[in-house]
Amino acid sequence: MFLKTLHLKQFRNYQEQRVDFVAPKTILLGNNAQGKSNLLEAVELLATLRTHRIARDRDLVRDGENISLILATLQREAGISDLKLTLRRNGRRTVNLNSENLRRQMDFLGVLNAVEFSSLDLELVRGGPDGRRNWLNTLLIQLEPVYAHILQQYNKVLRQRNALLKSYQQSELKVPPKELAVWDAQLVSAGTKVIRRRDRALQRLTPIASNWHASISNSTEVLRIKYLPSIPLEENEPEQVQQAFFTKIEQRSVAELHQGTTLVGPHRDEVELTINQTAARQYGSQGQQRTLVLALKLAELQLIEEVVGEPPLLLLDDVLAELDPSRQNQLLDAIQDRFQTLITTTHLGSFDSQWLKSSQILHVKAGEIFPG
């Protein structure tokens, strides 16, 4: 797929800016805080309706405005699509495809696919399980847009069940509330769907990521990715997972009532990353952590391409210059001209000349874009 144009209105620090993409790679060049990442963020929003920088919609809308528009023209094998996302300060969003407002956000999600790689992704290795769950959720939304709906349902049930547990904890009641059984069943039903999809996605991603990792590290390191769901998972069968889920809830019920919160379910899942059988985060070197994240990102690209049937976009936010020339070349070989790539950087100095040859260069200055 190829993003032909992007048009931002009152988004972040852009007043109104249209960009035409004319090469397989676009380098957005500019000093800090000019709007380079903001532009990638707009593309990320079109792909996932999420942003990896924790932000509410009112942070995305330009200061002093109430509404913000992200418009794009996308070329896919099946034809051209026009996407429009409206963000409002009050958080209400509208999604529009080919001039038609869509009722379900799910129908917007499968249109543009993109993999984002920024320095924040190093947190995948270094940070807590939350970041890894988030990463997996974002990937799954693109592999199966219905996942966005499933996750939303799970989170809703989780919030309601937590509210019930909290009110019990704060009450004088001696007997757990009767409605809890209803919430247990709903939690298990929605949670099982989440768990089974996470398991399936990681089963497919792991061999691809391990291969990339072996190739980047010249086979000196073995990367393993292991899904550690909060309930034991023996077989990826609905009945088996549901049964295990109910059993675990029963085992933790006293603790849940005591703590007033849900202790079992996919909101407590972990994804373990190991290199040569040691937890990756203990593998101190920044270089090794970068290799790992690069392998994960290349695997995401490949998996999305396999599932969707077309190469997604790659968004490289300030990471390319940090890779050494050999890793840069590996990335270049992997993406060639098949994956449209948008790259932000503050300087061109450390770019391999190969990169520059096939790139369109745009200058970003205070929310405006100028051709290079």
Ligand X SMILES: Nc1ncnc2c1ncn2[C@@H]1O[C@H](COP(=O)(O)OP(=O)(O)OP(=O)(O)O)[C@@H](O)[C@H]1O
Residues comprising the binding site for ATP? 30-37
Please count the residues of this chain forming the interface with ligand X, following the rule CB under 6 A: 18
Rule CB under 6 A: say whether 52 interacts with ligand X.
no
Contact residue for ligand X among 33, 173, 222, 356 (CB under 6 A)? 33
Asked whether position 239 contacts ligand X by CB under 6 A, the answer is no
Are the C-beta atoms of 231 and 264 separated by less than 8 Å?
yes
Nearer to ligand X, 244 or 364 (CB): 364
Nearest CB to ligand X, comparing residues 42 and 271? 42
Least separation, in Å, of the C-beta of 119 and ligand X?
9
Contact string 118-157 vs ligand X (x = CB under 6 A): ----------------------------------------
**Binding ligand X by CB under 6 A: which of 35, 145, 229, 266?**
35
98 Cβ contact list (under 8 Å, min separation 6): 81, 82
Maximum separation of any 2 CA atoms in the chain, in Å? 72
Q: Does 181 bind ligand X (CB under 6 A)?
A: no
Residue ranges of the annotated binding site are: 30-37
Rounded to 5 degrees, what are φ and ψ at 51? Answer: -130, 140
Q: Which of 22, 54, 63, 99 binds ligand X (CB under 6 A)?
A: 63
Q: Residue 277, by phi and psi: left (phi above 0), alpha (psi -120 to 50) or beta?
A: left
Report CA dihedral (75, 20, 307, 189) to the nearest 10 degrees. Answer: -110
Residue number with CB closer to ligand X (284 or 349): 349
Binding residue for ligand X (CB under 6 A) from 37, 51, 262, 330? Answer: 37
CB neighbours (10 Å) of residue 29? 20
Radius of gyration of the chain from Cα atoms? 22
Residue 38 engages ligand X in binding (rule: CB under 6 A): yes
Judged by CB under 6 A, which of 36, 84, 132, 197 binds ligand X? 36
Taking CB under 6 A as the rule, does residue 32 contact ligand X? Answer: yes
Q: Which is nearer to ligand X, 31 or 336 (CB)?
A: 31
Closest CA to 228 of 281, 266, 269, 257: 269
Choose, by CB under 6 A, the member of 17, 34, 217, 330 that binds ligand X. Answer: 34
Q: Which of 37/289 has CB closer to ligand X?
A: 37
Those residues whose C-beta lies under 8 Å from the C-beta of residue 278, and which sit 6 or more positions away, are none
Complete DSSP assignment for 156-203? HHHHHHHHHHHHHHHS--SS--TTHHHHHHHHHHHHHHHHHHHHHHHH
Q: b/e map of 80-110 (b: 16 or more CB within 10 Å)?
A: eeebbbbbbbeeeeebbeeeeeeeebbebbe
| Closer residue to ligand X, CB minimum distance, 156 or 365 | 365
Of 16-24, 55-63, 256-264, 287-295: span binding ligand X (CB under 6 A): 55-63
> Counting Cβ atoms within 10 Å, is residue 207 exposed (0-12), middle (13-18) or buried (19+)?
exposed
Q: Does 91 bind ligand X (CB under 6 A)?
A: no
Binding flag, residue 346, ligand X (CB under 6 A): yes
* Least distance (Å) between residue 199 CB and ligand X: 35
Of 12 and 267, nearer to ligand X (C-beta) is 12
Sign, CA torsion 273/277/279/281: negative
What span, in angstroms and rounded, lies between the C-alpha atoms of 292 and 214? 10
Per CB under 6 A, which region of 56-64, 124-132, 187-195, 326-334 contacts ligand X? 56-64
Structure tokens at 240: 């088996």
Strand partners, 227: 271
Q: Which is nearer to ligand X, 148 or 362 (CB)?
A: 362
> Which positions lie near ligand X, rule CB under 6 A?
12-13, 30, 32-38, 59, 61-63, 318, 344, 346, 364
